Amino acid sequence: MRILVTGGAGFIGSEYVRRRLRSDPRTRITVLDKLTYSGVEANLAPVGEYLGLTFVQGDICDPDVVDQVMAAQDAVVHFAAESHVDRSIDGAGPFVRTNVMGTQVLLDAAHRHRVGRFLHVSTDEVYGSIGEGSWPETWPLAPNSPYSASKAGSDLLALAYHRTHGLDVVVTRCTNNYGPYQFPEKVIPLFITNLLDGKPVPLYGDGRNVRDWLHVSDHCRGIDLVLQGGRAGDVYHIGGGTELSNHKLTGLLLDAVGAGWDRVEQVADRKGHDLRYSLDDGKIREELGYEPQVDFAAGLAATVSWYRENRSWWAPLKERAGLR
Ligand code: NAD
């Protein structure tokens, strides 16, 4: 199978590529990645020797580059995006450009080249916030941040290409991912690396916002199940099954590195901060046999160890991005 993986040098995309090549070395993967601040080509070094891997540095918004890499692909797995909510609050332009317009360029090319399947990777954040219960896939979209609004736009475009052009599109929406190689601006790696460096950690508001945590390897397994068995034109949720308030998560991270609450700095809450996200992922469990395999306590401990052992990966990234 020949797969175009966009954003394959990022956190989740690179996990997908490493996992896929190791489990099926006959797969031919072309990674298209612009290498923005969060893209790291070295994330693919562990599978750099695989003959099936081709890396192309390029922008999904560039129709010429996209046209070249799309030719002869059997499938697209589309991760490339601007992905950090805080950055979208500071400036929404790159989010609309990459997430909406870039997705449209990819969809057009996939349709033109008659690609067999287009899997669009999205997020629970497109639904807004929910006090109680969990969203099914049929829930109306009500995004609150420029990031989630741009992802909702790209989801709707992808589904429209299925309805209008008959392109075989599937959309996945997942909860918060964690694991190795996550850019250290996101809460888990930011807190771990700050704590390892003896620095304070910034907790938004009172820390009562609730997120469900999904190990990146479980997410990528779910993506492959949908790629292989999902119904064209359908949306599938991928959840982790571990809902935690940010306060509780902070306590677990402090315990993991042996630090106390004196290291926590309460900072002004994020503008428009969604209180709770919760996906009902019964559909992928029932139809495709998905179940998360990584226990959260074990996954978090392994993630802390990975950051402890890979300072040479994250320290230069934090330095370059001016993260404190
Ligand atoms: P990331 O920021 O780590 O990686 C994004 C990758 O896309 C980077 O390698 C970057 O260089 C590349 N990229 C950005 N703009 C590009 C462009 N114009 N052209 C080509 N490449 C470009 O993000 P991530 O956390 O790996 O997220 C991947 C996908 O998963 C995104 O679509 C995101 O919305 C979705 N998602 C992430 C999470 C999460 O918890 N991280 C949760 C739900 C959904």
Q: How many CB atoms lie within 10 A of CB 302?
A: 13
- pLDDT at res. 292: 97
Cα–Cα dist 159/196, whole Å? 43
Q: Which of 59, 124, 155, 212 is catalytic?
A: 124
Share of the chain above pLDDT 90, in %: 97
Mean pLDDT of the chain: 97
- Ligand 1 pocket test, candidate residues 4, 5, 6, 11, most atoms within 8 A of CB: 11
Q: Residue 19 in contact with residue 43, Cβ under 8 Å?
A: no
Confidence of residue 289 (pLDDT cuts 50, 70, 90): very high
Q: Which of 127, 147, 181, 236 is catalytic?
A: 147
pLDDT single digits (tens) 78-113: 999 999 999 999 999 999 999 999 999 999 999 999
Share of the chain above pLDDT 70, in %: 100
Q: Residue 37 in contact with residue 82, Cβ under 8 Å?
A: no
Q: Residue 94 in contact with residue 27, Cβ under 8 Å?
A: no
Ligand 1 centroid from CA 261, angstroms: 32
Q: Is the dihedral of CA 217, 222, 227, 229 positive or negative?
A: positive
Place of tokens 């991912």: 177
Residue closest to 313 by CA, chosen among 188, 201, 183: 183
Q: Output 324 or 199, whichever has higher pLDDT.
A: 199
* Range name among 45-49, 204-208, 253-257, 287-291 with the lowest pLDDT average: 204-208
Cα–Cα dist 120/270, whole Å? 27
pLDDT(269) > 90: no
pLDDT(145) > 80: yes
Average pLDDT over residues 114-130: 98
Average pLDDT over residues 240-252: 97
pLDDT(255) > 80: yes
Residue nearest to atom 43 of ligand 1 (CA): 123
Q: Residue 57 in contact with residue 98, Cβ under 8 Å?
A: no
- pLDDT at res. 227: 98
- Of the chain, the end-to-end C-alpha distance in Å amounts to 43
Domains and CATH numbers, the chain: 2-176+214-238 (3.40.50.720), 178-211+242-273+296-321 (3.90.25.10)
Residue closest to 291 by CA, chosen among 300, 278, 303, 282: 282
- pLDDT at res. 45: 97
Residue nearest to atom 17 of ligand 1 (CA): 59
Residue nearest to atom 13 of ligand 1 (CA): 80
Q: Which residues contact 315 (CB under 8 A, 6 or more apart)?
A: 193
- pLDDT at res. 84: 95
- pLDDT at res. 34: 98
Cα–Cα dist 238/240, whole Å? 7
Ligand 1 centroid from CA 164, angstroms: 26
Residue nearest to atom 12 of ligand 1 (CA): 7
Q: Is 204 a known active-site residue?
A: no
- pLDDT at res. 324: 76
pLDDT single digits (tens) 162-209: 999 999 999 999 999 999 999 999 999 999 999 999 999 999 989 999
Residue nearest to atom 29 of ligand 1 (CA): 79
Ligand 1 binding pocket, CB closer than 6 Å? 6-7, 9-13, 32-36, 38-39, 59-61, 79-83, 98, 102, 121, 123, 151, 174, 176-177, 183
| pTM higher than 0.75 | yes
Annotate the chain with three-state secondary structure: CEEEEECCCCHHHHHHHHHHHHHCCCCEEEEEECCCCCCCHHHHHHHCCCCCEEEEECCCCCHHHHHHHHCCCCEEEECCCCCCHHHHHHCCHHHHHHHHHHHHHHHHHHHHCCCCEEEEEEEHHHHCCCCCCCECCCCCCCCCCHHHHHHHHHHHHHHHHHHHHCCCEEEEEECEEECCCCCCCCHHHHHHHHHHCCCCEEEECCCCCEEEEEEHHHHHHHHHHHHHHCCCCCEEEECCCCEEEHHHHHHHHHHHHCCCHHHEEEECCCCCCCCECCECCHHHHHHHCCCCCCCHHHHHHHHHHHHHHCHHHHHHHHHHHCCC
Q: Which of 82, 125, 168, 281 is catalytic?
A: 125
Ligand 1 centroid from CA 222, angstroms: 17
Q: How many CB atoms lie within 10 A of CB 242?
A: 21
The radius of gyration of the chain's CA atoms, rounded to the nearest angstrom, is 19
Q: Is 24 a known active-site residue?
A: no
Atom number of ligand 1 nearest to Cα 147: 34
